[in-house]
Amino acid sequence: MTDQEPEESEYESRWWELDLRSLALFRVLLGLFVLLTLASFWGDTSAFFTDAGVLPRVDLVESPYANLWLCFHMGSGTWLSQAFLNALLGFFAVGLMAGWRTPWMVAGCWILLNSLQVRNPFVGDRGDLQLSLMLFWAFFLPLGAAWSADAKAGRTPWGKERGLAAAALVTQFGLIYLFAAYYK
């Protein structure tokens, strides 16, 4: 074999390894989906997430559906506090789309999105859970390695494009389609 010929292993398909450009597109779409989730709730913030709405905090705490792990939205029942937390989540989502301080933006999106989902568990669906899981696995991937403010600033990306997190993300997508087809 000459130096010009690629090794046979370069042609292998590795499903547990993700391309940095596809991760950049994934980062932008992930931030967009967080913004769309916020937009879908924005007009109903008072009805769904305040004490004046359909599920006051005291009723949620007394119910068997209470899961108050890391729920900042339970801190206050006013519209202003809920709007502030949702605006902060929007800030993290825009920062994620731009690839600015990407690991921090992913962590902020994941924490505040989970907090929003826990505040009223009756307004979400399985898609919200999938979004939360994608944000969790995204924290371990180098989402800011390409087409981002982090890459432009020369920051070292966090995470690896291959390994457990990449395999888990690919498996998660595969299972979504597998079970959707199974139930049809």
Helix ranges restricted to H, 43-163: 45-49, 57-62, 79-98, 102-119, 126-138, 149-153
Ranges under pLDDT 50 in the chain: none
Classify residue 8 by its DSSP letter.
G
Position of tokens 């999105």? 113
Q: What is the pLDDT of residue 158?
A: 80
Residue 103: name the closest of 154, 168, 159 by CA.
159
pLDDT, tens digit (0-9, with 9 covering 90-100), for 14-60: 666 788 999 999 999 999 999 999 999 989 999 999 999 999 999 99
Residue 143: name the closest of 32, 26, 41, 59 by CA.
26
Q: What is the pLDDT of residue 10?
A: 57
